Amino acid sequence: MSKPGYADQGFWFRVIFMLLYWVVLNIAVTVFGVLLVLVSLVKLGSKYEPVTLSSWLKSVTAFIGQIFSFLSFESEEKPFPFQPWPQVNADEEA
C-alpha cells in the first residue's frame, strides 16, 4: 500500500516554498501597483513613452504569472531565483 501524500517529504518542501512564494507574491503585487501608477503618471504628464518602466512592468507581470503557476500546481518549476528573471521579448515591447 502506498503512503498518503502528506507522508512524502517532497510535499512538505513544496508547502514551505508555496508559503514563501505567497509572501513574495504580495511584495511583487505591491511593486506591480507602484510601477503601474508610475507608468500611468508618466503617460499622463508627458508625450514620451516610458519604455524602461513599461518593460519592468511586463517583467514583474511575467514573474507574478510564474508564481501563480507554481502556487496552483500548474508548474513544478520554482520561479526566480530558481529560474532566470523573466525577460520581455523585443516584439512584445513594440
pLDDT digits (tens, 9 = 90+) for 9-22: 888 899 999 999 99
How would you classify residue 6: left for phi > 0, otherwise alpha for psi between -120 and 50, otherwise beta? alpha
The domain segmentation of the chain, as residue ranges, is: 31-93
pLDDT band at 94 (very low <50, low <70, confident <90, very high): very low
Indicate whether this model's pTM tops 0.85: no
Whole-angstrom distance, CA of residue 55 vs CA of residue 89: 9
At residue 92, the pLDDT reads: 54
Whole-angstrom distance, CA of residue 1 vs CA of residue 48: 65
HSE-CB for 36 with a 13 A CA cutoff = 8
Whole-angstrom distance, CA of residue 43 vs CA of residue 28: 22
